[in-house]
Structure 1
Amino acid sequence: DETCCQVYADVFGADFRTRIRDQERWAQEVGGDEMWRVSIERLPDAAFEGADVWLLSPPCQPFTRTGHKQDVDDVRCQALLRLADALPRLQQPPCALFLENVPGFADSKARRAFLDGLGRCA
């Protein structure tokens, strides 16, 4: 979306659009102002370091009746599981997490995996 790209370019710098369009992947430079168009599952743990807050909104389909309640077996759940896996290894985990969910999430394996990841944080 061009409007979205322009807003991000204004906030993060003009070269943002070039990096996104070129689909530049994770480089050695780590910084909170970097944006990457790549699936979370493919990012190294270092990509998650140092954020003050994580705002998480996993897809609701894996946990709803109309989505067949596939839970962790739904490919759309993999990003949340990746974050749960990375959390305990982070040297600088986020200070706060906000996780949007649907009623089916409360009893899910994905929720238990995420809580397990939180519980293993130092």
Structure 2
Amino acid sequence: MEKQKLPNSTLILVFGIVSIVTCCCYGVLGLIFGIIALVLANKATKLYMENPENYEGFSNVKTGKILAIIGIILNVLYLGYTIFLFSTIGMDGIQEMQRELMEQYGG
């Protein structure tokens, strides 16, 4: 019997990568992609473990799951940092910091 490609294996890998890349979007967007990738990876792992001889592409699932976990951790840290900034210095303080950085580095 010919092996089938594991469902969503490429999508899990892509979502894992996107969750890391988008961690600078206040931690929200990447967190969503990371959680989706982790849920899909768990479903694909269960499906693969039932009949491993019928499926290929499990390496994409494992890699995507690891990237999703890393992305979730980075996004939670960045989201916590953002919440900390908003609670301590507020929106006005953040805008002032951005202005100072633009003057210092942007010209």
- What band does the TM-score fall into relative to the shorter chain? 0.3 to 0.5
Higher relative contact order (CA 8 A, sep 6+): 2
What's the TM-score, normalizing by structure 1?
0.31
In our comparison, the structure showing a higher alpha carbon Rg is: 2
Greater helix proportion: 2
